[in-house]
C-alpha cells in the first residue's frame, strides 16, 4: 500500500544527486529500499539513504532519466508516494567492516556504515566517484570512518583512478570481517576478486528493474533470484555463480541487455 508523504527537506548533495527527506514511520533496516512514485510520472526503487527511527527518512537520487530527474526537481512541500521498505539488508554483525561505494551506490551504504559504527564496529571506507564534486556523503562518512580513502576517475581528489585500486591495499592492511559494496557491477565484481584470496566475505547491493517489488512480477530476476525479495544485498557466493552478474540486466521490456 502506497503512502503519500510530503517532502520536508531537499539537499543538493552533488551536481547530479539530490536527497529528499520525508516522514514515513515504517521501520527499515540498513540496505533496504522503498518504491517511490512521482505523481504524474513513474515509480522507481530507491535505497533509503536515511532510515533511522524518529527522524525523517531519506532517499538520494541521481539523475538518470525522466523519473529521477523529476524527483531531483521536487521542492519542499511537494508530495511523493512511498511503499515499503522492501528487501533484505546488510548484515548486522562484524567487528571490522570495509565499505566500498561507487557513485550513487553510496546511498545504500551510508546507513549501514552508520549502524555498524553505532554498535561499536570499526568501519573503514573506500569512496569513489568520477570527480571530486560527485563524491557522495564524504563528510557524513568521515565522521564515523576509522579510515576513509577516496578515489576519483579524473584525479581531482584522492587516488587518480578507480576505487577498486584502494581495496587491495586496505584489505591487506587489516583483518576485515566483511566487505559491503554498492556501485557499478564491474566495480563490485573487482571488489569480490580482491577479497577472495583473503577469504573475506563480500556483500553487494544489486539493482535490477523493479515493478511490483513484492516477488510477483519477475521483472527483477537475476539468475534464480528475485532482487526485490532475495536481495538487494547478495553474498559473493550467490553472485559469483551468476552468468548475468556484471554482464547483463533486463530492460523495461524484459529483454536481456548488457549492463
Ligand X SMILES: Cc1cc2nc3c(=O)[nH]c(=O)nc-3n(C[C@H](O)[C@H](O)[C@H](O)COP(=O)(O)OP(=O)(O)OC[C@H]3O[C@@H](n4cnc5c(N)ncnc54)[C@H](O)[C@@H]3O)c2cc1C
Q: Which three cell numbers stand for residue 81?
A: 508516494
Cα separation, 181 vs 103, whole angstroms: 11
CA 108 from chain centre, in angstroms, equals: 3
Select the span of 101-109, 130-138, 183-191, 192-200 touching ligand X (CB under 6 A). 101-109
Q: Find which of ligand FES, ligand X, none residue 42 binds, CB within 5 to 8 Å per kind.
A: ligand X
Cell of 133: 564534486
Residue 212 interacts with, from ligand X, ligand FES, none (CB under 5-8 Å by kind):
ligand FES
Peptide bond into 232 cis (omega under 30): yes
User: CA geometry: angle at 87 spanning 83 and 89, to 5°?
Assistant: 125
Interface positions with ligand FES (CB under 6 A) = 210-213, 215-220, 226, 228
209 contacts ligand X (rule: CB under 6 A): yes
Q: How far apart are CA 23 and CA 139, in angstroms?
A: 24
Q: Using the rule CB under 6 A, is 64 a contact of ligand X?
A: yes
| 73 lies in the site for ligand X, by CB under 6 A | no
Nearer to ligand FES, 25 or 252 (CB): 252
Residue 237 CB, shortest distance to ligand X, in Å, is 20
Nearer to ligand X, 42 or 154 (CB): 42
Nearest approach, Cβ of residue 45 and ligand FES (Å): 8
Conformational region of residue 66, where left means phi above 0, alpha means psi within -120 to 50, and beta covers everything else: alpha
Amino acid at each position: 500500500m502506497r503512502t503519500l508523504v510530503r517532502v520536508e527537506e531537499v539537499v543538493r548533495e552533488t551536481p547530479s544527486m539530490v536527497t529528499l527527506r520525508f516522514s514515513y514511520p515504517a521501520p527499515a533496516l540498513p540496505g533496504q529500499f522503498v518504491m517511490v512514485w512521482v505523481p504524474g510520472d513513474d515509480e522507481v526503487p530507491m535505497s533509503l539513504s536515511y532510515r533511522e527511527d524518529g527522524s525523517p527518512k531519506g532517499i538520494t537520487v541521481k539523475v538518470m532519466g525522466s523519473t529521477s530527474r523529476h524527483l531531483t526537481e521536487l521542492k519542499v512541500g511537494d508530495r511523493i508516494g512511498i511503499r515499503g521498505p522492501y528487501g533484505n539488508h546488510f548484515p548486522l554483525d562484524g567487528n571490522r567492516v570495509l565499505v566500498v561505494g561507487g557513485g550513487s551506490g553510496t546511498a545504500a551504504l551510508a546507513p549501514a556504515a552508520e549502524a555498524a559504527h553505532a554498535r561499536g564496529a570499526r568501519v573503514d571506507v573506500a569512496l569513489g566517484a568520477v570527480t571530486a564534486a560527485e563524491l557522495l556523503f564524504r563528510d557524513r562518512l568521515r565522521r564515523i570512518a576509522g579510515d576513509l580513502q577516496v578515489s576519483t576517475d579524473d584525479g581531482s581528489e584522492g587516488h587518480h583512478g578507480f576505487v577498486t585500486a584502494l581495496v587491495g591495499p586496505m584489505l591487506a592492511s587489516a583483518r576485515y570481517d566483511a566487505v559491503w559494496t554498492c556501485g557499478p557491477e564491474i566495480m563490485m565484481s573487482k571488489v569480490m576478486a580482491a577479497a577472495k584470496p583473503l577469504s573475506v566475505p563480500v556483500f553487494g547491493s544489486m539493482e535490477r528493474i523493479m515493478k511490483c517489488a513484492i516477488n510477483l512480477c519477475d521483472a527483477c530476476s537475476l539468475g534464480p533470484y528475485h532482487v526485490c525479495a532475495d536481495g538487494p544485498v547478495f553474498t559473493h557466493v550467490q553472485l559469483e555463480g551468476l552468468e548475468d552478474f556484471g554482464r547483463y540486466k533486463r530492460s523495461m521490456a524484459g529483454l536481456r541487455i548488457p549492463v
